[in-house]
Homo-oligomer: A and B are copies of this chain.
Amino acid sequence: MDSEHAFSEAERAAIYKCIAERRDVRSEFLSDPIPQAKLAKILMAAHQAPSVGLSQPWNFIIVRDAALHAKIHAGYVKASEEAAIKFQGERSETYRSLKLEGIREAPIGVCITCDRTRGGEVVLGRTHQADMDLYSTVCAVQNFWLAARAEGIGVGWMSIINPQELKNILSIPEHIVPIAYLCVGYVSSFYKSPELEQRGWAKRHTLSSHVSINHWNNETALDGLFAFL
């Protein structure tokens, strides 16, 4: 029996489909511009994220200047080389063979930041968990990602850059934290499963290996939970 507040079966199917088919895109970006109306809708979805104490700590910088893309790409190249040498042997070779960003191919970047001073000195819900503002901002990132996927627009979260360098390039003040730099654009295709899985970098785990009841790692009471999947 469904709750009267449940969405219709078709609506629920759309939401599960969007969550399942969202991908981190690196190589399939098309240069086609994103219509303003679409971008505004996706940004509004991000802006409707939950935020601690309704503090709405996020900002969105839409990076469409190719000269800035080139600077960010240069920051990526440097950071990626620093990362590559941390992997051992074959793993390092594989790392170097992966394309991990679409900074210059995607028509825009969207930098989503967190203002750690937003909402004043005391924010409801942050006293004992000070990073709740960062987490609120990540919820905005995930909303952005899902709305974009529904529009057929790919998103790649590019985390391989020194955050201070990103801040310098985008004139981001000291007290603002850049949470995500997203490469955003239409795509030729979406992978059917995570690209890192398809390329043999990592495997997806079973859900049941991540769930316990009442206490950490207590799997004695999982009973019928996973019979349905």
A198 CB to nearest chain B CB (Å): 10
B146 near A54 with CB under 8 A, answer no
Q: Which of A118-134 contact B (CB under 8 A)?
A: 119, 122, 124-129, 131-132, 134
A40 near B225 with CB under 8 A, answer yes
Query: CB-defined interface of A1-22 with B at 8 Å, one 1/0 digit per residue?
Result: 0111111101110111111101
B36 near A228 with CB under 8 A, answer yes
Copies in the complex: 2
Given A3-B151, A3-B152, A152-B6: A213 touches B15 (CB 8 Å cut-off):
no
Question: Closest B-chain residue to A83, C-beta based?
Answer: B127
A120 CB to nearest chain B CB (Å): 10
Q: Which of A129-168 contact B (CB under 8 A)?
A: 129, 131-132, 134-135, 138-139, 141-143, 145-147, 149-153, 157, 159-163
Residues of B near A173 (CB, < 8 A) are: 216
B201 near A147 with CB under 8 A, answer no
A27 close to B (CB within 8 Å): no
Say which size band chain A's interface belongs to: 35 or more
Bound: A179/B139 CA distance, A: 12
Bound: A129/B65 CA distance, A: 24
Bound: A32/B183 CA distance, A: 43
- Give the interface of A toward B (CB within 8 A): 2-8, 10-12, 14-20, 22, 24, 36-37, 39-41, 43-45, 47-50, 52-56, 58-65, 68, 79, 82-83, 86-87, 95, 98, 100, 113, 119, 122, 124-129, 131-132, 134-135, 138-139, 141-143, 145-147, 149-153, 157, 159-163, 170-173, 176, 179-180, 186-187, 189-190, 194, 196-197, 201-205, 207, 210-218, 223-229
